[in-house]
Structure 1
Amino acid sequence: MTQAQAFINDGVHYLPHYFTVPLNYRDTNQGTLTLFAREVRLAGDELSHKPWLVYFQGGPGFPAQRPNGHGGWLKRALQDYRVLLLDQRGTGHSSVISHQTLAPLTATQQAEYLSHFRADNIVRDAEFIRQQFAVEQWAILGQSFGGFCSLTYLSLFPQSLLRSYITGGVPSICRPADDVYRATFKRTMDKNQAFFRQFPQAQSLCQAIADHLIDHEEFLPNGQLFTVEQFQQIGINFGMSDSFIATYYQLENAFIEVSGQPQLRYEFLNTMLSEQGFQTNPIYAILHESIYCQGNASNWSAHRVRNEWAAFNYQKGQPFYFTGEMVFPWMFEQYTNLKPLQQAAEILAAKTDWPTLYNAEQLANNTVPVSCAVYADDMFVEMDFSRETLAGIPNANAWITNEYEHNGLRADGERILDKLIAMGEQTAAMLKPLC
């Protein structure tokens, strides 16, 4: 397999690093994984003593971004840090998980293997790298699920951390998945109502598409039968800024007439397939609910909670509503690349012995400056739960704002990280002992 190479682009130096880490840190006889991380620094910084900043990507199940170092949050970060973009285990160049790589395993083997790809082991991977680099302490930046990883890091290895920056990713450390999905379904309904207020004609367009899918078979370019439930899932985009108008344009472009009969346009169907990140990044589907599990099973939490919201179960003649980032058991019956993982998904949904991810006692004694951007209208991470968590973590400060959606770091990362860095320095100054 071709490995990434070092290169310089526009004054920024990109250097690849590969590591061999245990699949299971508690039993190192269970095999190893290849881990990839990309170092990013300003050209000419080779001899500087800037501290490290490790970036934890959102997800779960997605690799670190492949950036241009002169834009967004990375531009600001490189002023103070050398940055490490970690491809979390199972993603990017890090022993990738896909329907292809899991195919040789039985369902039981798939479930056992996948159980080692949560935040606890992602953090242990980062700690392994820190030790390999002989770095005493480094800073971390967690976006979305990366913020969940950050709190796990603060729980397990706080002595290794210089600063922690979190954007749109302060989870509840104790609430069950059902609480999370009750909150996020409500937020998703709020976003639906806002969308249909802005584009009232979109409701009839959505109903026309949904009714057509009920009455006719339409297939995506990969040969997969397209369904109403799949169509609803593009509502995940409502958690991002500027998504309403882009969604409306897609709806406008849905139909074409062929021999006097309406069909869904190939362009529309191709766009719908491109929205299905589950096909290429199955960790997101198969482990999504487990990120909320500590000693308990999810038992398809979102699917059960959805039944409390009849409006999301579309029927002809009723209003149409999109769903959000939730995952459901039917996905493993419908999505082409998830079908081979159905049995493993059922095993993991029933798994009750998930290890704990957070140490509330350790967090209650936190001395690491933690700076957080908490988005008041976040569709994926409930603000009230974030505030609840932060109330129990000393030296953690939140900038609560309605200026951004969940993707604030992508939309205006330079400003957001600049503010978080300043907050962290202020906290650190307060922690310094008086002479």
Structure 2
Amino acid sequence: MHGNTFINDGCCYQNHTFEVPLSYSDANSQTLSLFAREVRLNGDENSAKPWLLFFQGGPGFPSPRPNGHSGWLKVALQRYRVLLLDQRGTGHSSVITHQTLAHLNSEQQAEYLAHFRADNIVRDAETIREKLGIDKWATLGQSFGGFCTLTYLSLFPDSLLQCYVTGGIPSIDRTIDDVYEATFKRTAQKNKAFFRQFPQAQPLCQKIADHLITHEEFLPNGQRFTAEQFQQIGINFGVSDTFLPTYYLLESAFVEVNGTQVLSYEFLNAMLSEQAFQTNPIYAILHESIYCQGFASQWSAHRVRQNHPQFNYQAGQAFYFTGEMTFPWMFEQYKNLKPLQTAATLLADKTDWQPLYDAEVLTNNKVPLSCAVYADDMFVEMAFSCETLNRIPNSQAWITNEYEHNGLRLDGERVLSKLFAIGDQTLATLV
């Protein structure tokens, strides 16, 4: 269970590995290996500090590998021992990639992947808590990590001291189409803001998209680059300070070769680096399922997109970037997603997803829940977050337009300090 330990700049980092079942409902289930890294101030190994479990955003991304003397972790270590969990399928936790799934057929891939949602991530956390001998612990959830937090509060509220969430309070009962209607509207607003600030970017985007429609261009991995893929870099508009770097990138798109304009290698290489779906396929294949409880997603973002035709680019019309959405054509175009196309279709058609939240338990919540809700969040709709929090007692929201979705990464010391203060105030009213 315990791995190597090292010390860096006054912080002690200790690796842990745990064995958990793939399926908690199957006594004969195969097992997974989970990795988590404990971070504490050097000398705190015998202290009475409580534990804080960090739930990473995503789904499909590992916990950060941070410096203990910067950002939110610097603040957290003053009062907690922190556990950075690589959620199942990420990082060093039985990682899922196109390589590790290659030995399974499509039906086996779909069956396997269905076990990697928030409900089982939370059951993993409970298993780890018990194995470490922790009575109760606090949690910090960023983005999808906030979704996991509400699942934890639904399934195992008695295991929790306090919960902190940044940019990650979901609706617990709205349809998935409601979510993507809101997402497309927010994304349209971000597009308008970008092109208002950089009007010269609109003809540049049209030129790039038109070129991709009429010419074959290939990314460094050999994958044909398309206008639809180009649109997806708009996901960056959901985090702070990305308008100017995006404009600079557009300026460098073309290079002249023998009198002909082609997309530059610099630009194409940058476009490949934007495709996190290539290295983290859970992000694509399970993204819509994080909203599913007893119903199929049926490629919701693709369907809802048809209600917003400005996102379906055609030559001669205004160009719009898309945002945090996944589409069926991605599994036809993305090199590392192609082997997962049938599995993705099976999961999009899956109707028997188990509930992720228990509304009755949440309406009787006694765990202090402190949240940063971002007013202009492109990924998690503020109105839906407020709807949910209004139904959860002992929850308190700090609603702010000072940050985008990445507030915790950008200014973690201030954001987490604010949530600690809110949580302490809530806790004082319960004592």
Q: Are positions 1:138 and 2:137 aligned together? A: yes
Counterparts of 1:144 and 1:28, CA distance in 2: 32
Counterparts of 2:299 and 2:194, CA distance in 1: 28
Residue aligned with 1:268, SS: helix
For the Cα contact (< 8 Å) 2:34–2:86, is it kept in 1? yes
Equivalent in the alignment of 1:193: 192
Give the aligned residue type for 2:219. Answer: L
Give the aligned residue type for 2:210. Answer: D
Q: Give the CA deviation at 1:28.
A: 3.0
Residue aligned with 1:374, SS: strand
Equivalent in the alignment of 1:24: 23
Unaligned runs of 5+ residues in structure 2 are none
**Aligned pairs for 1:353-432 within 5 A:** 353-432=352-431
Equivalent in the alignment of 1:248: 247
Q: Are positions 1:206 and 2:205 aligned together? A: yes
Equivalent in the alignment of 1:51: 50
Q: Give the CA deviation at 1:46.
A: 1.4
Equivalent in the alignment of 2:172: 173
Counterparts of 1:415 and 1:245, CA distance in 2: 25
Give the aligned residue type for 2:139. Answer: I
**Aligned pairs for 1:128-167 within 5 A:** 128-167=127-166
Counterparts of 2:284 and 2:237, CA distance in 1: 18
Equivalent in the alignment of 1:124: 123
For the Cα contact (< 8 Å) 2:3–2:17, is it kept in 1? no
Q: Give the CA deviation at 1:4.
A: 6.8
Counterparts of 2:359 and 2:147, CA distance in 1: 14
Residue aligned with 1:175, SS: coil
Equivalent in the alignment of 2:297: 298
Give the aligned residue type for 1:144. Answer: S
Residue aligned with 2:53, SS: strand
Moved over 6 A (4+): none
1:133-171 alpha-carbon deviations (Å, 9 max, x no partner): 111100000000000000000000000000000000000
Counterparts of 2:275 and 2:341, CA distance in 1: 17
Equivalent in the alignment of 1:259: 258
For the Cα contact (< 8 Å) 2:367–2:394, is it kept in 1? yes
For the Cα contact (< 8 Å) 2:232–2:321, is it kept in 1? yes
Counterparts of 2:372 and 2:10, CA distance in 1: 29
1:104-158 alpha-carbon deviations (Å, 9 max, x no partner): 0010000000000000000000000000011110000000000000000000000
Counterparts of 1:60 and 1:239, CA distance in 2: 16
TM-score of the pair, normalised by structure 1: 0.98
Q: Give the CA deviation at 1:331.
A: 0.2
Counterparts of 2:264 and 2:156, CA distance in 1: 52
Q: Give the CA deviation at 1:250.
A: 0.6
Shift in alpha-carbon separation, 1:4–1:67, aligned structure 2, 3 A: farther
Counterparts of 1:411 and 1:369, CA distance in 2: 25
Q: Give the CA deviation at 1:283.
A: 0.2
1:5-36 alpha-carbon deviations (Å, 9 max, x no partner): 32111111110000000000011312000000
1:294-316 alpha-carbon deviations (Å, 9 max, x no partner): 00000000000001010000011
Equivalent in the alignment of 1:86: 85
Residue aligned with 1:66, SS: coil
Unaligned runs of 5+ residues in structure 1 are none
Counterparts of 2:349 and 2:29, CA distance in 1: 23
Residue aligned with 1:99, SS: coil
Equivalent in the alignment of 2:337: 338
Q: Give the CA deviation at 1:424.
A: 0.6
Equivalent in the alignment of 2:5: 6
Residue aligned with 1:139, SS: strand
1:188-243 alpha-carbon deviations (Å, 9 max, x no partner): 00000000001010001100100110111000000000000000000000000001
TM-score of the pair, normalised by structure 2: 0.99
Counterparts of 1:337 and 1:57, CA distance in 2: 23
Equivalent in the alignment of 2:40: 41
1:79-107 alpha-carbon deviations (Å, 9 max, x no partner): 00000000000000000000001000010
Identity of aligned residues (%): 74
Counterparts of 2:3 and 2:255, CA distance in 1: 43
1:363-399 alpha-carbon deviations (Å, 9 max, x no partner): 0000000000000000000000000000000000000
Equivalent in the alignment of 1:100: 99
Residue aligned with 2:13, SS: strand
